[in-house]
Amino acid sequence: MRAPASELPILFEEVCVAARDMRILSDVTLALGAGAPTVLIGPNGAGKTTLLRLAMGLAAPSAGRVTWGGRDRTDGRRLGMVSQRPVMLRRSTFANVTYALATAGIAWGRRSERARQLLAQASLSNQAGRPARRLSGGEQQRLALARALARDPEVLCLDEPTASLDPANTKAVEEIVLAVAARGIKVVMATHDLGQARRLAGDVVLLVGGRIREHAPAQQFFSSPATPEAAAFVRGDLVI
Amino acid sequence: MTRSLVNIVQDPSALGLVLGGDTALYAIVRLSLVVSLSAAALAALIALPLGAYFALVQFPGRGFVIVVLNAFMGLPPVVVGLAAYLLLSRSGPLGFLGLLFTPRAMILAQALLVIPIIAALTRQTIEDLWLEYRDELTAMRVGPLPRIATLIWDARFSLVTVLLAGFGRAAAEVGTVMIVGGNIDGFTRTMTTAIALETSKGDLALAMGLGIVLVALIIVVNAVAWSIRRAGELRAG
């Protein structure tokens, strides 16, 4: 059997996205390659979610080009996504994961064992039988991660996955993200949380007003930001 | 008027027929249940996927189709009965089937009556759920048919209520089955047609007995469905 083609690098070439005369992204050129997590930061409306949707192949640019491993299309089989408020299917926690495994094409006989592994990884083994909608916010976010990992993704896009979580749950999610990244899965994550960006990022992309203002390795971004917007962001000033 | 109602309610023969296991009465009850449940099931088979299709698929004229579908929820049963009669009559396009004045014709006609109700309510239910699920299912690359199956399954508790509405409409209507069934004693006589006939004949005891059974059955079916829904919701959330 032929190995699936790699989705990486995901290249954005002069990408613009507009909706009803409003520019959401302008002239975005960016390469997402294998390696440590890429963290997208920026204020609300900066275009972070749109960039993630483009990377997932869930939206098309109005102008410019997005490619996955040199191809103009992706079937999305090895792309996973977790949104800020993931929707739980009206099933048990366990069934949510087996559903994701089914959509990923995993054979019926292998789903139960794999689901148990994924739930263990998300520290949800003891919640397997509970209705997913009754889980706490943190548990739901971890279940969404388990579901996304069911696809055995090469790239995992996370849209502010800890925005509404307390520190303990944030830590739990971050531990999963770090473990996932250590396994070689490319994590692309949007966040408002500068501290989280410091803890997780290999490189940082600062988006303001739909444009990339700075893209640099995390250490460089935080120690010597090159643009006034990045400097203001790092100082903790309000960047609008 | 008030006096006669009091007499009927106090008439022990109505309850006697129900509690005494009157054979004729229970044959009518059995046929009514078979016809209405079969019609609701047949309508569900067609209307659930149809409603889901209208909820998920964009096509030219979709708005018009939805308006018509919603309007058809209020179709007069006698009009549906007439249409079914024309379809099934000897000179009609389905006349060769020889179904007119049989329980099968009644099932078909009631299904025609119920399909718009189940389809329209299913469309609304699935469309609401799709708004919630769209991003998640799209990110999981769930194809069109599995998507419909997923939404119907996850909306199953709401759809139980939709099916009940369909069954209620089928069980309570009289015009359609009267036209295509003919109200033949021992063959196509249902509770509603029997009530209409016995009332006109003045046999109020049997009419009352049937009325009691009809209302009781509808309450029982609803109670069972509600219990199933409640238990399911507790399990699945």
The alpha carbon of residue A229 is apart from the nearest alpha carbon of chain B, in Å, by: 32
The alpha carbon of residue A53 is apart from the nearest alpha carbon of chain B, in Å, by: 9
Distance separating alpha carbons of residues A28 and A210, to the nearest angstrom? 8
Contact at CB, B141 and A75, closer than 8 angstroms: yes
| pLDDT attached to residue B36 | 95
Here the ipTM equals 0.82
Q: Does A91 touch chain B (CB under 8 A)?
A: yes
* pLDDT tens across the length of chain A (240 residues): 556 688 989 999 999 999 888 889 999 999 999 999 999 999 888 999 999 999 999 999 999 999 999 999 998 889 999 988 899 999 999 999 999 999 999 999 999 999 999 999 999 999 999 999 999 999 999 999 999 999 899 999 999 999 888 899 999 999 999 999 999 999 999 998 889 999 999 999 999 999 999 999 999 999 998 898 888 888 877 776
| Residue scoring higher pLDDT (B229 or B178) | B178
In chain A, which residue's Cα lies nearest the Cα of B138? Answer: A58
| pLDDT attached to residue B234 | 78
Contact at CB, B139 and A77, closer than 8 angstroms: no
Residues 6+ apart with CB under 8 A from B192: B32, B171, B172, B173, B174, B177, B214
Average pLDDT over residues B85-89: 94
pTM, two decimals, is 0.80
Q: Does A92 touch chain B (CB under 8 A)?
A: yes
Average pLDDT over residues B14-29: 76
**Is the model's pLDDT at B132 over the cut of 90?**
yes
Distance separating alpha carbons of residues B164 and B193, to the nearest angstrom? 21
- Report the DSSP pairing between strands A79-82 and A22-32: unpaired
How confident is residue B4, by pLDDT bands cut at 50, 70 and 90? very low
Give the pLDDT confidence of B31-45 residue by residue, as tens digits: 999 999 999 999 999
pLDDT > 90 in chain B, percent: 65
| pLDDT attached to residue B208 | 86
| pLDDT attached to residue B2 | 43
Residues 6+ apart with CB under 8 A from A117: none
Average pLDDT over residues B204-227: 87
- Mean pLDDT lowest for which of A37-41, B6-10, B114-118? B6-10
| pLDDT attached to residue B210 | 85
Helix (H, G, I), strand (E, B) or coil at A105: coil
| pLDDT attached to residue B20 | 73
Closest by CA to A78, choosing from A105, A60, A59, A96, is: A105
Closest by CA to B8, choosing from B210, B219, B194, B183, is: B210
**Is the model's pLDDT at B78 over the cut of 60?**
yes
Q: Which residues of B touch A (CB under 8 A)?
A: 132-133, 135-136, 138-142, 146, 150, 154-155, 157, 234-237
| pLDDT attached to residue B1 | 40
| pLDDT attached to residue B134 | 92
**Is the model's pLDDT at B12 over the cut of 60?**
no
| pLDDT attached to residue A3 | 63
